[in-house]
């Protein structure tokens, strides 16, 4: 595997923002008390919290990419507090697991909310979103209703939507049932990601477009990068799936690509065919389903899953175009303006890697498909763990199960591809 993600095309969200000048000037000094590898939402939170807890220490935060271009700037911008993946059927979750996930996700949301308010980060933050988990088929409607029953049991009562309410909201009659998705905010993810990177404390040194190839076995750790070697007493791996390339999580996480696209800005006629709200969101009630968002004058569509390999951009465009047309045959627009892929790290049981994996090596990796809030809280907790802080949340997190062991290749890939194909077939019209 490569040392860091390399995508076929840029993030559509990032393309909508002014160009960014990456911070690439490596410090002359080479030894630091802490080095954080990977500056997605997880790494940003780790570096910020370390800097707060140790204000006299310099923290170096290294990313192979430019802020806004990694998975943290390629996602669909849902800040969810639900206990599973965006589309998961929560009906089978144990109460204990769900409670812990809820409290982590809520804390992650609050971290982001506080930063956005404090620094006035411009990221189209909408914390009164109409965002619905919707089903298009009778079977998936049944499981969505069961999920709602479970939420009610946990003291939540998500609003329900019937077909005509969903039609009014989105302009399509594709969906037959929906429930509030427990999305606490919708954002422009690349703007949020860049914004957080730009307000890091003064004692964090961000280094973009710098790939880490190798870390030493023990402290002081040598860190071999594309801009020379560094050394540190403590290293933090927050580079998600690519922690594998640095020796962690290889038998616990797999890489799943999923794909997003925007329509061009729609004309007034087409906008009238997209319902009454200025912005709305639809999450799939089946995990192989499709995410939609109305974002200003554009429609976002996200779908597709491929194992460890990014599909050809033209095939992706066709796939997303078909799914878009299936839902919005009444729109005149027939084009997609940006198409991109993004990598998620997934485990078999939904658990992810968290903790001090070797003396001085702290890892948080594998947040799956809902890592904006979860990455933010895990990043912060990782810093707290390393600094000897105590909290109920951290204790709870340390008690949660990590990811299951996975069989080696080629068995693993064979099994994963069969499962993806089967679930895609099973999803039918939900795709």
Least separation in angstroms between residue 330's CB and ligand FAD is 26
Show contacts with ligand FAD in window 155-184 (CB under 6 A).
Answer: none
Which residue in 87, 101, 172, 239 binds ligand FAD (CB under 6 A)? Answer: 239
How many CB atoms are closer than 10 A to CB 409? 11
Stretch that binds ligand FAD, among 71-79, 110-118, 262-270, 388-396 (CB under 6 A): 71-79
How far apart (Å, rounded) are the C-alpha atoms in residues 382 and 375? 10
Least separation in angstroms between residue 341's CB and ligand FAD is 7
How far apart (Å, rounded) are the C-alpha atoms in residues 66 and 21? 9
Asked whether position 333 contacts ligand FAD by CB under 6 A, the answer is: no
How far apart (Å, rounded) are the C-alpha atoms in residues 211 and 399? 32
Least separation in angstroms between residue 138's CB and ligand FAD is 26
Stretch that binds ligand FAD, among 117-125, 142-150, 366-374, 419-427 (CB under 6 A): 366-374
Least separation in angstroms between residue 92's CB and ligand FAD is 21
Asked whether position 369 contacts ligand FAD by CB under 6 A, the answer is: yes
Asked whether position 63 contacts ligand FAD by CB under 6 A, the answer is: yes
**Exposed, middle or buried, 111 (CB in 10 Å: 0-12/13-18/19+)?**
buried
Asked whether position 72 contacts ligand FAD by CB under 6 A, the answer is: yes
Asked whether position 342 contacts ligand FAD by CB under 6 A, the answer is: yes
Asked whether position 3 contacts ligand FAD by CB under 6 A, the answer is: yes
β-sheet bridge partners, residue 166? none
Report which residue's Cβ sits closest to ligand FAD: 371
Least separation in angstroms between residue 249's CB and ligand FAD is 12
Asked whether position 367 contacts ligand FAD by CB under 6 A, the answer is: yes
How far apart (Å, rounded) are the C-alpha atoms in residues 295 and 129? 12
Least separation in angstroms between residue 390's CB and ligand FAD is 24
Binding site for ligand FAD (CB under 6 A): 3-5, 37-43, 62-65, 70-72, 74-78, 80, 211-212, 238-240, 242, 258, 260, 302, 342, 344, 367, 369-373, 375
């Amino acid at each position: 595997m490569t040392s860091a993600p390399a995508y076929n095309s840029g993030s559509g969200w990032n393309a909508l923002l002014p160009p960014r000048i990456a911070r690439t000037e490596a410090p002359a000094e080479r030894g630091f008390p802490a080095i954080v590898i990977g500056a997605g939402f997880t790494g940003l939170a780790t570096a910020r919290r370390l800097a707060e807890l140790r204000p006299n220490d310099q923290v170096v935060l290294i990313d192979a990419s430019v802020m806004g271009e990694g998975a943290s700037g390629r996602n669909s911008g849902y800040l969810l507090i639900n206990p599973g993946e965006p589309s998961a059927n929560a009906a089978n979750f144990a109460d204990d697991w769900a409670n812990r996930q809820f409290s982590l996700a809520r804390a992650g949301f609050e971290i982001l909310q506080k930063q956005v308010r404090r620094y006035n980060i411009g990221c189209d933050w909408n914390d009164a979103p109409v965002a619905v988990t919707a089903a298009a088929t009778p079977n998936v409607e049944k499981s969505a209703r069961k999920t709602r029953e479970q939420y009610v049991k946990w003291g939540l009562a998500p609003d329900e939507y019937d077909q005509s309410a969903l039609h009014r909201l989105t302009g399509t009659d594709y969906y037959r049932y929906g429930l509030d998705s427990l999305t606490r905010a919708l954002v422009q993810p690349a703007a949020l990601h860049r914004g957080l990177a730009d307000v890091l404390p003064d004692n964090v040194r961000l280094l973009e477009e710098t790939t880490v190839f190798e870390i030493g076995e023990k402290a002081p750790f040598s860190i071999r990068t594309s801009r020379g070697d560094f050394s540190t007493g403590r290293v933090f791996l927050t580079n998600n799936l690519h922690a594998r390339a640095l020796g962690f999580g290889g038998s616990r996480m797999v890489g799943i690509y999923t794909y997003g696209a925007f329509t061009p800005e729609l004309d007034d006629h087409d906008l009238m065919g997209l319902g009454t709200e200025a912005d709305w969101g639809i999450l799939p009630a089946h995990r192989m389903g499709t995410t939609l968002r109305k974002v200003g004058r554009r429609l976002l569509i996200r779908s597709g899953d491929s194992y460890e390999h990014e599909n050809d951009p033209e095939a992706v465009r066709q796939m997303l175009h078909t799914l878009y047309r299936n839902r919005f045959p009444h729109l005149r627009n027939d084009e997609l303006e940006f198409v991109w892929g993004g990598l998620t790290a997934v485990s078999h049981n939904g658990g992810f890697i968290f903790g001090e994996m070797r003396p001085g090596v702290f890892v948080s990796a594998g947040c799956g498909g809902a890592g904006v809030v979860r990455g933010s809280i895990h990043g912060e907790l990782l810093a707290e763990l390393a600094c000897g802080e105590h909290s109920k949340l951290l204790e709870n997190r340390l008690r949660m199960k990590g990811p299951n062991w996975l069989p080696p290749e080629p068995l693993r890939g064979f099994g994963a591809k069969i499962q993806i194909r089967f679930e895609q077939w099973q999803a039918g019209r939900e795709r």
